[in-house]
Homo-oligomer: A and B are copies of this chain.
Amino acid sequence: MQEINIVRLKTDVQLRDPVLIVGLPGVGHVGKLVAEHLVEELKAEKIIEIYSKHFPPQVLVDENSEVRLVNNEVYTCSTEKSDMLILVGDHQSSTGEGHYQLCEAYIDIAEELGVKRIYTLGGFPTGQLTHTDEVLGAVNNSEMLEELKEAGIEFKPNEPGGGIVGASGLLLGMSKFKNIDSACLMGLTSGYLVDPKSAQSLLRVMCKIFDIEIDVGPLEERAKEMEKIVARLKEVEQQQQGIPEVSIGDDDLRYIG
């Protein structure tokens, strides 16, 4: 098995000024909520599936009890202004090294499809439960700042102070070497819950950038679904904490014998 398997569902994809939007799981699931909402509302078409041993060894079960391997997926759709590529997924990489590998693969795909700009979507944890209708930005080329400020995105020196970790940050840093302008847009969120309100703020900014109109209402519904999934994953995790394990853990690496 290769480290990363890229399955193309459609060859000969022709796109007009495509922009790549990335919404993978992360803080408050803000980025994932917005990207999946865009896929749904814009009736985007899936063109690529990405499988990798850097994702957890897991399948998900659908409403027909049919499983599918966890993955990341690329969708495409058209807006009046330009074509859109949307990268969504079940997981980010499980390892630091995998993040680099996957982001490199994503940038290769972006280059191949003629992408000139990338937006990575995420949440920025405030630790406060009160909602702020604010979207914080960071860019890999300061020439983008004016345009993005006009769309209502806030920029603050050295923020986020702890940098940006994971695909949202890495894609900005790595695409810089390929001369692709990229911005990370972060909805402010408590950091404790799946946050549809923050996703609505971020979606409004995206609508402004792309000059499109999208109903933000269904995001509440989608967030509730996601909250349920998160809760069940948590539950399973807790149940498992009392399970006797035959598998050898780190403690056993203390060399019996």
Contact = CB atoms under 8 A, between A and B. Distances in A.
Interface of A: 1, 24-29, 53-70, 90-97, 99-101, 103-104, 120, 122-127, 137-142, 145, 155-170, 172-174, 176, 184, 186, 191-194, 226-237, 239-249, 251-257
B138 A25 contact: no
A54 to B, nearest CB: 7
B253 A184 contact: no
Contact of A184 (B67, B103, B163, B235): B67
Given A160-B61, A191-B242, A237-B249, A255 B173 contact: no
A66 B142 contact: yes
Contacts of A231: 244
Assembly stoichiometry (copies): 4
A20 B237 CA distance: 29
B156 A56 contact: no
A104 B5 CA distance: 13
A197 to B, nearest CB: 16
A103 B51 CA distance: 14
B57 A96 contact: yes
A178 B63 CA distance: 23
Given A57-B96, A162-B236, A91 B248 contact: yes
Nearest to A120: B257
A50 to B, nearest CB: 14
